[in-house]
Each structure stands twice: as structure tokens, then as C-alpha cells.
A = this chain, B = another copy of it.
Amino acid sequence: MVTSVEVSPAPSTTILRPAKFTGKVALSSLPAESDPVASLPADIPLDTLKVIRPSVKETSSSSSEDDEADDLVGKEANGEKVTRNGDSDTLVLGKNFHDLCLTITEPDFDDDVTGEKDAYMAGVLARYRKKLVERTKFHLGYPYNLDFEYGALTQLQHFSINNLGDPFIESNYGVHSRQFEVGVLDWFARLWDIEKNEYWGYITNCGTEGNLHGILVGREVFPDGVLYASKDSHYSVFKAARIYRMDVVKVDTLLSGEIDCKDLKQKLSERADKPAILNVNIGTTVKGAVDDLDLVLETLSEAGFKEDRFYIHCDGALFGLMMPFVKKAPKVSFKKPIGSVSVSGHKFVGCPMPCGVQITRMEHISVLSKNVEYLASRDATIMGSRNGHAPIFLWYTLNRKGYQGFQKEVQRCLRNAHYLKECLRAAGFGVMLNELSSTVVFERPQEESFVLKWQLACQGKIAHAVVMPNVTVEKINKFVKELIESRQRCFSDGKVPCIVEEVGPENCACEEHRGIQHTDRNNDH
């Protein structure tokens, strides 16, 4: 652990050395008004954070690891090439897994005797496991916390646990985990300020199911409602509109990725005759921007929409669990007139399989549910059979970490994200980090092999890295070093691509905007 970071406008430095953390980007403590987190201690002292400036030199110490990783990418690149047009906006879908798939073969008549089949499968699985270890090690692009330990739950892996139907109503199928599921839901209900007898919810299969559910509830409450969502919303929001045959209005965003409430107001006013169903992003997918819920509510009011004329779904896939622990963030709370909140379970919490938490108001569920006697249950979920293992994973982690544990992790992630941003900026990259976000946006690397190795999610000219609890300072250092090397191979003349349209002039590092960036950065310190 190092203790501070110094941010200087110089591009890449040449030696790894401790640096001074100015404290200007200090993270906030918890909001006092939030019940479950009110009693938590303040921030971790900043001086517990040690930061090392990245360097293109002094790389020998980790070269063996590098080789291993390069080998891996090399192997993948041979067999699993993605045909893609570099950094342009279009994408050629060429990859077909038929060529690579593990074909299932009929067992030989004497397999039981020879053990050939078992040996073959053991070999496949061992190689696959090795690949997973490596792919997990080099991962920065998706907001998945890959750092979890569920050894205590291995004993449950051979049961067919299925929470089919409604979590609150017993089905006749006895091999379920509803008692864990409801425990998890209660924990989130408390986090988002809604009483036990006033909420309904369930553990979903993923963030998309949460959005599909929230928007469906909105549509059932307002069958002729128009869906409003910023253009930076997750693609599942627009998928929902198409599936549900709803009118959808795409709202502009600010450069940060936040919804542009001026545009929202105008578009609401143009359709004031119809109720509004709004998707509010608590962390957009690409830029990690948090829509200002309070401003959205104000905008609705200004456009003449009373509370009985709108429904708000909060897509909190990633940040829904982080924001409650950050003081300045717009608070997601059912004390405000929102209809539903969803969050992913495999993202900040970490879980071997995708899952999510969906919470809505009990009063909305009657419009969606329908008695289905076959299950001895009501039908208010989107899926029927539901994975009963996921709630146990979540229950286990929430119990172990508690609100306090999550607070610490959120603070560490935000700090490390800030560190990553400063490292990239210092190295002369165009880079943007929304305040209180852990998603660092930067120019898209030109080398496809680098993108694949670090599993970066890209959009147009930009890529992002999401700093999750499993992303350590060491990993960041390694990443930055390799990114610098990669760029040097592509831009030997030192030219930097312009990403001003994506991140704004103060964050762009191209020749034209570098001055603006410098000014801004100098202002920072």
C-alpha cells in the first residue's frame, strides 16, 4: 500500500515512484438520513490509499506474467477472431462459435470400462478452468465483481433449487430457497427506504429482467403511457419498449452521460396528454453517469405531470448498490415517488451466475399478477422457474459484509477509479470519470488484442474500465503500463485521437484540446 498520488500534467513518466495524493477528489461519507447506513463510520482515511504512478519502463518484474497473458491472447486470436472495423461505429458480426464448440459425442459402448469419456471430459474441464483463471485475472471492462468466496455453499450445488413463482407465496415444490430470497429482498428494501409490507420484489436472472419487469409494471399501471429514456440507457430498455409495443421517446444526454432534463421537459410537454413512464439510470452502462432523480422529478412537475400521471423505474444495475453509500449522490428512495428499482447481483456484490434484485411497490403488483393454480402461487414475475442458488449466494455475501462492508468497498472502488483516471491523464490519455462513479472512460485502444485481453467494453471511439472490488492498484498499474505500450505501438508519432465529442474538451487529450485539459487539470490542483 502507498499513501498518496501526485498529479502532474506531464505525459507518461519513466519511473515507478510514490506520489502525493492531493485530496481534492476525496470521497464522501454516507448520507446521514439513510436509515440502514446512518450509523456507519465515516470514510476510510485517505492516507490508507497508496498510489503508484504508471511507467513504461521498469517492466521486468512482471514480464513472465505478461508472456503468459500474451500467449493466451495469441491463442484466442488464432481461433476466436472477431471481425470488427477497428474503432469505427459499425460492427461486423462475423464470429461463429460453431467452429470452436465442444462437440458432444455419443459414449462408446465400453466407456464405463475404459473410462475414456470421463478422462476426455476431465481434460476439457481442466483446460477450461485454467482459461477461466486467466480470463478472470485480466478483466477490467465489465462491472462484475469477480472476487468472491463461496466455498461454504459448495454443499448445496447438487440440489435442484427452484423458487418458481412468487417469492412470498409458498409453491408446492419443496426444494426452494425462499427464506433466503426474502431475507435478501428485505435487506434491499431497507436500503431503499420501503417498509416490508409495502414492497414486493424478487431475485431476477439479470439486470435485463429487472428492466423488463420495472417497465412492464409501469405499462400495466399506465397502459397508454409513453416510455422516456435517455439515449445512454441500457439497450434492454429499448428492447422492452419494442417487446411491449410501447411508444418510446429517446431523450438527449449531457456529455457526462446524464439525462438532459431540458430536453426531457420539452419532450414531456409535447406529449402531456399521455402518462409518462420514465427509465432513470442509476449509472449508465458506458459512462457510469447517474441521472439526477431529484431533477427528473422537478422536471416532471414543471411539465405538469402530477404523481398519478407518471411511473419511474430506476435502473440501478451497477450503481444501485453503490450510490446509497456515497453522500453526494442523488438518493434512490421509495420515499420519493418512484415505482421500482432494479440492481444486478453479479455486479457489485459478485455471484457466480448473473442475477438481480427487483423491488417495486406492493400496490403495483396486483395489476401485474394473476393467479395460477398450478403453482399455488400468483404470477407476478417474468420468469416462471427461478434459480434458487442465486439468493443464497447474495444472502451469504450480504450477511458477511453488511452495509458497513459495502461502504468500505464502494469507497475503495471510487478511490481506485480516481487513481486509474489520474494515471491515464498523467500518461496523456483522454479520460473521463464522472464524479462518484467507478467507470473510467478513455480512448478506445487501437489494438484488438489488447481490447480482448483486458475484455474492455467499447463504444465508438471510447472504451471503459469499471473498477470493481476485485480491481486492485496492482492490476491498475499493470493495465496502464500495457495500455501505454499498446498506444506507443499504434501512434509512434505521439499523435492522440480526438474524443472530444464523447468526453468533452476538458477531458480530451488530442493536440487541439490538450491545452484546455491542462488548464482544467491545473485548476484541479
Interface residues in chain A, defined as those with a beta carbon under 8 Å from any beta carbon in chain B:
76, 80, 82, 84, 89, 91, 93, 95-98, 100-107, 117, 121-122, 125, 128-129, 132, 135-136, 138-139, 141-142, 144-146, 148-162, 164, 167-170, 172-175, 177-184, 186-187, 196-197, 205-209, 212, 216, 234-236, 239, 243-245, 285-286, 344, 346, 350-354, 370-379, 382-390, 395-396, 398-405, 451-452, 455-460
Contact = CB atoms under 8 A, between A and B. Distances in A.
Given A101-B179, A150-B158, 6 more contacts: A102-B182, A104-B183, A128-B180, A135-B174, A244-B244, A245-B245
19 contacts: A80-B170, A97-B168, A100-B182, A101-B182, A101-B183, A101-B186, A102-B180, A102-B182, A104-B186, A104-B399, A107-B401, A121-B399, A135-B175, A144-B162, A173-B457, A206-B383, A208-B382, A209-B383, A239-B379
Contacts of A117: 399-400
Given A244-B245, A373-B89, A132 B156 contact: yes
A254 to B, nearest CB: 19
A354 B386 contact: yes
Contacts of A178: 97, 100-101
Copies of chain A in the complex: 2
Given A173-B142, A354-B385, A387-B205, A132 B161 contact: yes
B175 A136 contact: yes
A93 B200 CA distance: 14
A474 to B, nearest CB: 19
A160 B174 contact: no
Contact of A136 (B150, B160, B186, B354): B160
A175 B139 contact: yes
A344 B385 CA distance: 10
Nearest to A92: B371
A388 to B, nearest CB: 7
Contacts of A212: 382
A173 B455 contact: yes
A121 B154 CA distance: 14
A458 B125 contact: no
A208 B132 contact: no
A180 B128 CA distance: 10
Given A153-B125, A208-B384, A107 B172 contact: no
Contacts of A354: 162, 164, 383, 385-387
A174 B400 CA distance: 28
A10 to B, nearest CB: 32
A109 to B, nearest CB: 9
A372 B102 contact: no
Contact of A157 (B96, B154, B169, B388): B154
Most buried by B among A102, A105, A372: A102
Given A97-B170, A107-B400, A386-B354, A144 B160 contact: yes
B125 A152 contact: yes
Contact of A97 (B105, B167, B405): B167
Given A107-B401, A353-B389, A168 B206 contact: no
Contacts of A216: 243
B385 A346 contact: yes
A129 B155 contact: yes
A187 B244 contact: no
A204 to B, nearest CB: 9
A407 to B, nearest CB: 11
B404 A107 contact: yes
Nearest to A99: B182
Contacts of A132: 156, 159, 161, 175
